[in-house]
Amino acid sequence: MGILVAVSDDDQFETVLNVAVQLAAGLEQELYVTHITETESASGDERAFRDNVRASLSETDVPVEIELEHLSRGGLRSGTAIGKQLLELTESGSIDHIVIGHRSKGRLTTVREGHTGFVVAEEAAVPVTIVPEAVDS
């Protein structure tokens, strides 16, 4: 059993990872870190980001598995689509908790993209921790 951690290559990923590591240590769980990619084959930038995630987690005692996942961002409400695809990753039964970051959006952006974290929180069958951008690492 473990904790699914969804990270993006932004300035919030380390904060999300820190919260997830603390949670995993307290619950004695393994972390499954996933980075969403826009293409089916990861680019050099995406592989470099995965290596940054590995480096950030290199000194933790929590067992970690890091994957690049291709999830489709196409179409209207891409955040909503990504949220639903993240939920599909939890259907294997090996995920007990989800940790995801959240950034505030303007009304127009919310209408156009949706909120990944809100979709996950509303529809997940497991507990969800949403890490707002204002949290200090």
Q: Rounded to an integer, what distance in angstroms lies between the CA atom of residue 77 and that of residue 79? A: 5
Q: Against a cut of 0.95, is the pTM above it?
A: no
Alpha helices per DSSP H over 58-133: 78-89, 107-113, 116-123
Strand partners, 34: 6, 67
**Backbone phi and psi for residue 62, each to the nearest 5 degrees, phi listed first:** -80, 135
Q: For 100-136, how does the pLDDT look when each residue is reduced to its tens digit (9 = 90+)?
A: 987 665 665 545 455 678 888 889 999 999 998 765 5
Tell me what the mean pLDDT of segment 68-97 comes to. Answer: 74
Which of 34-57 are b and which e, b meaning 16 or more Cβ less than 10 Å from the residue's Cβ? bbbbeeeebeeebeebbeebeebb
Domain enclosing residue 100, as ranges: 2-132
Among candidate residues 3, 1, 8, 20, the one with its CA nearest the CA of residue 71? 8
Rounded mean pLDDT, 85-93: 83
* Paired tokens of 10: 């932004």
Question: What pLDDT sits at residue 105?
Answer: 58
**Residues in contact with 75: Cβ distance below 8 Å, sequence separation at least 6, in sequence order:** 81
3-class secondary structure, 67: strand
Please check whether residue 49 lies inside any domain of the structure: yes
- Closest to 118 measured CA to CA, from 76, 71, 86, 73: 86
> Is 71 part of a structural domain of the chain?
yes
Residue 85: give its domain's CATH number. 3.40.50.620
Confidence of residue 24 (pLDDT cuts 50, 70, 90): very high
Whether residue 137 is contained in a domain is answered as no
pLDDT at 28: 93
Q: How many domains does the chain have?
A: 1
